Structures are given as C-alpha cells and as structure tokens.
Structure 1
Amino acid sequence: MTGFLIRIPRPNEAAAIADLHLRTWAEVYAGRFPPSAWGEEARVDRLTQWESICAKPTPDFHAVVAESEGELIGFAGAGRNTDRPPPHGRQLRFIYLLAHLQGSGAGQALLDEVLGDDPASLWVLEDNLRARSFYIRNGFAHDGMRQPTGYADSGDEIRMVR
C-alpha cells in the first residue's frame, strides 16, 4: 500500500461498503460468530444501514471510509452515545479495516477522523485482544460494563471509555 485517503462515503458506495463491512466481520469474527453474521440476511441489513448513512448524513453521526489505490479498505463511524446512562456524549459505533492492512496507520487515521481526542466510549468483543490493545493505546480503558454479543457462545462485549 502506497498510502490511503480518509473521506466521507459517497451515496453510490453503499453496496461496496456493505460488502466491505461483511468481509471485515468475517476476518475478525470467524470462529467467534456464526457464518450467518456475514451471510445474505446480514448483507441486506448492512446494505440498508449503509444506504442510510451514505444518503442521509446527520449532524450527530460522522462516518468515514479509508481508500487506497481506488479500493475501499476500511471505515469508521461515531455519533451520539446510545448507552443509558451514557458515560460520555460520543460513542465509537464501528471501526473496521481489512486484516492485512491492520498496523498500516489507516485504522488510527479512521479513529482520529471520527473521534479526534474527544471523550468517548465504545463496545469491543472481550477476547479481541488486538482491538483492545489499539483502544488502550488511544486512551480507552474498560469501565467494568459488559453485555452479551447477541450470538450464542460468542462471549461478551466490554465497554471502554476515555
């Protein structure tokens, strides 16, 4: 990879981002979540999600994509915190990057673009040690909160805050 660009997703990219979303989920969660998490029904859900994000930007949600050599390689989104009660006003909702590009700096650029240094929270799979290390390097710490993933036998998510 010679470099990457962080930018706002375009309306005509919803399908490509939905497919990237499923591909990154399969890379990260294979063996942890059932294959249905990135199957056809999941694709319909992701496509609907990304069509909304790409077509109707809102002031309280910021999404970006990472592109390299004309190819989408990652994405991130943050917005108003949905936890009740919220530990902070902002929440990282998602950040995913193709596995072979983790460590390239693109993930850091995505996080910086959607959150900057602002106080925020996020939920991460407890046994995803690589992601947790990334968040710790960015000032996040587990606050003791946990919740099930929604997939049987997939462990819990933990909340991290800064």
Structure 2
Amino acid sequence: MTPADCPRVAGIRIGGWRSAYRGLMPQPYLDALDVTADAERHRTRLARGDTGVVDLVAELDGAVAGWACHGPYRDGETRTADAELYALYVDPGQYGGGIGHALLQESVRRCAAAGHRRVLLWVLKQNTRARRFYERAGFRADGAEEPFEVDGVTVPEVRYAREL
C-alpha cells in the first residue's frame, strides 16, 4: 500500500463496516464514519514507517479492490511472537470474487515466511459471514472473547487462530 492508495483503502474499509456491520453496531456510528479522516489515519501510520506492519492491496482492473493488514499479535500494548491479521476488507461490490481469499492467503504466506508459528485475528461474534470465511481458510475460534464497545453498545468479538 502506498499513500496514494489511502483514500481508496479508507473507502473500502468504511464501506465494509457499513455493509458487514449493519444491524451489529449502532447505525449512527456507522453513518458517521469519515473516509477523509480514515485516509489521513492510514497516511500517518504509513509515514511512521512501522516495519512490523504489512499493508497489502489487491487491484482489479488497475483499481484497489481490497486491503489486508497484518503484523505482530497485540496482547494489550505488548507485541508477541504470533502474527495478527489486523484488517481484511474488500469492496462490497466485489464480495465473493476471490479478492478476500487472495489477500488472506498472501497475508498467511508472509506471516509464515516471517517465522510466526500462528496467525490470530478478531472478528465480531455475530458476523457469521466473516466467521465462515475464516473457517473455510483453516482458522478456528480458540475460545477467547473480548467486548468491543461502540457508542456505548457492547459488541462481542471472538478470536480465531490458525497454526502455520
């Protein structure tokens, strides 16, 4: 991912939230998500040059159609030897076209090549579509759960793991 990709990545991420999380999170929160602010957050993070974080984009016909981000697993403020898939989003108009699968496989490949022994990720407990997607790719819920608060509403997340 380059700084020039940030506006499109932000649009995909926010479009993904609005599509996948409708009915799972407060709608006013989803409606208030701001693509410009999100793009700036991505640009700022890229400029910091965190070498442990890898951002991948997938292109379709020369345009960014998906984004994945992975790096060291975060246990609170501590980074561990495991890898974590921080984000995986595909343009909602491209769901089911293999872009998410390709991004996930490349992230997993890179995590294995970097010497991580497993990849962890967090997914909303009620996001059955995403949970099935990760399960088809060999991830399994490992029993860990955390509350995620959005505008005063608790939205539980479950952790998935895949051995490398």
Q: Place the TM-score, normalised by the shorter chain, in its bin.
A: 0.7 to 0.9
How far apart in 1 are the matches of 2:140 and 2:104? 16
> Over the residues paired in the alignment, what is the CA RMSD in angstroms?
2.4
Opposite residue 50 of structure 2, the aligned amino acid is T
Q: Does 1:68 align with 2:63?
A: no
Compute the displacement of 1:48 (Å): 3.1
Compute the displacement of 1:109 (Å): 0.7
Task: Compute the TM-score of the two structures, normalised by the length of structure 1.
Answer: 0.81
Change (3 A) 1:75 1:62: same
How many residues are treated as equivalent by the alignment?
154
Q: Does 1:50 align with 2:42?
A: yes
CA contact (8 A) 1:76 1:94 kept: yes
Alignment correspondent of 1:133: 132
Q: Does 1:144 align with 2:136?
A: no
Alignment correspondent of 2:156: 156
Alignment correspondent of 2:115: none
Compute the displacement of 1:34 (Å): 2.3
How far apart in 2 are the matches of 1:60 and 1:86? 10
Task: Report which of the two has the higher share of strand.
Answer: 2
Which of 71, 81, 96 aligns to 1:79? It is 71
Partner SS state of residue 149, structure 1: strand
Q: Which runs of 5+ in 2 are unaligned?
A: 113-117
Identity rate, percent: 28
How far apart in 2 are the matches of 1:10 and 1:87? 26
Partner SS state of residue 132, structure 2: helix
Q: Which moved more, 1:28-37 or 1:101-110?
A: 28-37
Task: Compute the TM-score of the two structures, normalised by the length of structure 2.
Answer: 0.80
